[in-house]
Amino acid sequence: EVQLVQSGAEVKKSGESLRISCKGSGYSFTGYWISWVRQMPGKGLEWMGRIDPSDSHTKYSPSFQGHVTISADKSITTAFLQWSSLKASDTAMYYCARHSYSGRPNDAFDIWGQGTMVPVSS
């Protein structure tokens, strides 16, 4: 079964660092890009950025550039999203999603992780 399994919920405080993970299985991990998507409480979906696990090349949304870091370790088929200093405004559900046609104009997110909730207290 093709799936993305994310790490569990993390309760953090402002200023703390955090890295959450997204493990792919059931497919060739290096053959498909992975994106991260934020959903703040009661709000819509926001694309944060993506990574090509084959060479770790990344692209970020201007809204998130410099605030988060996306990485991947293909040896353990896992992508990561990390913060060096969390803010209360980072409180959200974070999803990873697989690209179906990595980089092509007709690309879509065909497989999603179950989400990781990150509450950040001030």
Partner 1 sequence: SYELTQPPSVSVSPGQTASITCSGEKLGDKYACWYQQKPGQSPVVVIYEDTKRPSGIPERFSGSNSGNTATLTISGTQAMDEADYYCQAWDSGTGVFGSGTKVTVL
Q: Which residues bind partner 1 (CB under 8 A)?
A: 35, 37, 44-47, 50, 59, 61-62, 95, 97, 100, 103, 105-110, 112-115
Q: Which of residues 64 and 71 has its CB atom nearest to partner 1 in the complex? A: 64
Please identify, using beta-carbon distances, which residue of 4 and 120 lies nearer to partner 1.
4
Instruction: Tell me how far, at minimum, the Cβ of 40 lies from partner 1, in Å.
Output: 12
In the complex, minimum distance from the CB of residue 105 to partner 1, in angstroms, rounded to a whole number: 5
Q: Which is nearer to partner 1, 61 or 69 (CB)?
A: 61
Strands, E assignment, the chain: 3-6, 12-13, 18-25, 34-39, 45-52, 57-60, 69-73, 78-83, 92-99, 109-112, 116-118, 120-121
Q: Quote the least distance from Cβ 115 to partner 1, whole Å.
A: 6
- Please return the burial class of 117, using the count of CB atoms within 10 Å of its CB with bins 0-12, 13-18 and 19+: middle
What is the Cα–Cα distance from 101 to 62, expressed in whole angstroms? 22
State both tokens at 40: 């703040």
Name which of 66 and 105 has its Cβ closer to partner 1: 105
